[in-house]
Amino acid sequence: FYYKMSIVIRIISPAGRSRIEINPTQTVADLKAEIAKRLGIDQKSVALFTDQAYAKPVKGRDSDSVSKAGLKNGDLLHISNQQAQMTQLPQPKKFTPVPDQKKDEGEEEKKEEVLKDSFGKSLKKPEEKDNTVAKDSFGREIKQQDKVVDKAKQVKMIHGKEEKKAPGEDEDDGKFVKHQSFENYLVEMKKRCKDKHLPHQ
């Protein structure tokens, strides 16, 4: 029966928050006694206010009932005593920020330099070339070689009597390899070997 008739008054003090369950027929002195017990302070020093700025005190004498003082279920009261310390409730948890793991000690972030022209307009920073080595799917480095044309392997094409020269080379340069059709090759070899071999050879 007492529980059904009771109301809950919320308390905010410099020490933290609390909730006090009290019967509205009980006096304001009983409410202050419960608050003093919770906060661990002298009952005479408990001052009740309805606002955070401590400008609106609770109207009602200590002998008045809680309901006569105008307090209702769920009301929020502010305690102005600076020495208030919660005794029955756990201390509020202190927030400790997690250190940023990305920044190492002594290492400062490099600010991006903004290039500006004579008129104060920002210019685009020249892109840095990627000097990373190319790798295949197995992680091996791929060596890039410049294409070098070997003069000894240059080819001279012969079509009948016309000869095409490679650019920048003379006719008498012996480094060229003659390339011709197989039929022309056989005809030329027969001319060279004519009357030099016996019939059975």
Output the CA–CA distances (angstroms, integers) from residue 147 to 63, 70, 150, 167, 177, in the order listed. 106, 98, 10, 18, 20
In-domain check, residue 179: yes
More confident site: 177 or 81: 81
**Domain CATH code at residue 51:** 3.10.20.90
In-domain check, residue 141: no
**Beta pairing partners, 77:** 11
In-domain check, residue 49: yes
User: Domain ends where: 44, 62, 79?
Assistant: 79
| DSSP one-letter code for 43 | G
In-domain check, residue 156: yes
Q: Which pTM value belongs to this model?
A: 0.36
What is the SS3 assignment for 184? helix
pLDDT digits over 5-27, tens only? 788 888 887 767 788 888 888 88
pLDDT digits over 63-78, tens only? 788 888 888 887 888 8
Where residue 189 falls (left for φ over 0; alpha for ψ -120 to 50; beta otherwise) is: alpha
Total domains present in the chain:
2
